Amino acid sequence: MSDMLRAPAEVKYADELAYLESVDTGPKPFSWRLSPRMVRLFVLGSERADGLDREIPQKWFGDRSFVERSIVTLASDRGLLLIGDPGTGKSWLAELLAAAVCRNSTLVVQGTAGTTEDHIKYSWNVSMVIARGQSRESMIPSPIMTAMEQGVIGRFEELTRSTSDVQDALISILSEKYVSIPELDHDNIVFAKPGFSVIATANSRDRGVNDLSSALKRRFNFIRIPVVTNKRSEAEIVRFRTEELLRRHRIELDVPPTLLDILLQSFADLRAAASAATSDDEKLESALSTAEQIGVLEDAILHSQFFGDRTLRAQTLAGSLMGSLARRAPEDLAILNKYLHGVVEPRAKADGGDWEGFLDGGRQAIASLS
User: What is the average pLDDT across 113-140?
Assistant: 92
Question: What is the b/e burial string over 286-296, where b = at least 16 CB atoms within 10 angstroms of the residue's CB?
Answer: bbbbbbbbbbb
305 pLDDT above the threshold of 90: no
203 with 287, same domain: the answer is no
**241 in the same domain as 183:** no
| Share of residues in the chain with pLDDT > 90 (%) | 58
How much is the pLDDT for 205?
67
Structural domain span for residue 27: 7-222
Give the count of domains, the chain: 2
CA distance 236 to 234: 5
Does some domain include residue 92?
yes
Are 185 and 282 within one domain? Answer: no
Question: Which of 181, 204, 222 delimits the end of a domain?
Answer: 222
- Tell me the C-alpha distance between 222 and 201, whole Å: 10
pLDDT at residue 26 greater than cutoff 80:
yes
Q: Do 204 and 262 fall into the same domain?
A: no
Q: Is 245 exposed, middle or buried (0-12, 13-18, 19+ CB in 10 A)?
A: middle
Say if residues 319 and 359 touch (Cβ distance below 8 Å). Answer: no
Q: Are 255 and 360 members of one domain?
A: yes
Question: What pLDDT is stored for residue 208 in this prediction?
Answer: 47
Instruction: Looking at the structure, tell me whether residues 255 and 211 fall in a common domain.
Output: no
CATH of the domain at 125: 3.40.50.300
The verdict on residue 1 lying in a domain is no
Supply the pLDDT for residue 355: 95
Whether residue 241 is found in the same domain as residue 169: no
**Between the CA of residue 173 and those of 190, 215, 288, 294, what are the distances in Å?**
10, 12, 36, 37
In a domain, 2, yes or no: no
**Is residue 361 domain-resident?**
yes
| pTM of the complete model | 0.84
Same domain for 174 and 238, yes or no, is no
Task: Please check whether residues 264 and 312 belong to one and the same domain.
Answer: yes
Domain boundary among 181, 201, 222: 222
